[in-house]
Structure 1
Amino acid sequence: MTAERVNPPDLSPPTGFSHAVITTGSRVVYLAGQTALDTEGKIVGTTLPEQFERALTNLLTALRAAGGNPGDLARVTVYTTDVDDYRAHAPELGRIWRTSAGREYPAMAVIGVVRLWDTQALVELDGVAVLP
């Protein structure tokens, strides 16, 4: 896949995301929402950063199983039960992202929700990737 990240100077400088991503490739992978579930189906971690790291690991595991890598992500949506907590931890979440997925950011959105499927879940990530 080739991905062109588009961040026009007429918009605010992006931090931890790209405003738009133009992709070319032959396969599109739709990644289901991933929370901090372990292999036994139990939520692990009690803080947002702990759960974010596990949810991102789960998302990337699904992507790799489909033949992709983090650079193939075109879009990621983050759902959180506490936007203020997410903003407070943004620098740490950014470090977790860079360690796991690198510095090539997809188009992203963070959406506040009342709750997630698992009541203990604080964050969920889903995405779209374009593979070569």
Structure 2
Amino acid sequence: MTAERPDPPTPARINPPDLSPPAGFSHAVVAAGSRVVFLAGQTALDTDGKVVGATLPEQFERALTNLLTALRAAGGTPADLARVTVYATDVAAYRAHAPELGRIWRRLAGRDYPAMAVVGAVRLWDEEAVVELDGFAVLP
């Protein structure tokens, strides 16, 4: 008779010691649940459909707030995020602002980091937008 392993908390963040230490992301996320929520790309749009925020950190904060608002409306929490992709029109600026963006993330979403990627984009749908976030979450 083999002992059954208890199911790990979901999503479970996996950060192998054989990889560089993650900063603001997890290398892998194992998620098991009954509902997957796909989150559309969110920019810094206000409720009138206008891009707000003159700086990358301001737009990042609004885009992340919008993403989390959609997630909460679907019944999820930031800890349920399994994957987030960030599209930035200036990756060098994104890297330069990374410490501030990390503080914004932790304030709004906590320290349960999803698997993440930053992708350079020539432009986004709204010409004034400099950053967009999309992703998916797995809800229990």
2:113 aligned with 1:105: yes
2:132 aligned with 1:124: yes
2:17 aligned with 1:2: no
Aligned-residue identity in percent:
80
**Stretches of structure 1 lacking an aligned partner (at least 5 in a row):** none
1:80 corresponding residue in structure 2: 88
2:28 corresponding residue in structure 1: 20
Give secondary structure in 1 for the equivalent of 2:76: coil
Superposition misfits of 4+ residues, deviation over 3 angstroms? none
Letter in 1 for 2:22: P
2:9 aligned with 1:36: no
CA RMSD of aligned residues (A): 0.7
Q: Deviations over 1:14-38 (max 9, x none)?
A: 0000000001110000000000000
Give secondary structure in 1 for the equivalent of 2:19: coil
Mapped partners of 2:70, 2:34: distance in 1: 18
Deviation at 1:79, TM superposition (A): 0.1
Mapped partners of 1:73, 1:4: distance in 2: 10
Mapped partners of 1:68, 1:62: distance in 2: 9
TM-score in terms of structure 2 length? 0.93
Mapped partners of 1:91, 1:31: distance in 2: 25
Give secondary structure in 1 for the equivalent of 2:11: strand
Give secondary structure in 1 for the equivalent of 2:79: helix
Greater Rg by CA = 2
Deviation at 1:85, TM superposition (A): 0.3
TM-score in terms of structure 1 length? 0.99
**Stretches of structure 2 lacking an aligned partner (at least 5 in a row):** 1-8
Higher strand content, 1 or 2: 1
Give secondary structure in 2 for the equivalent of 1:24: coil
Deviation at 1:90, TM superposition (A): 0.1
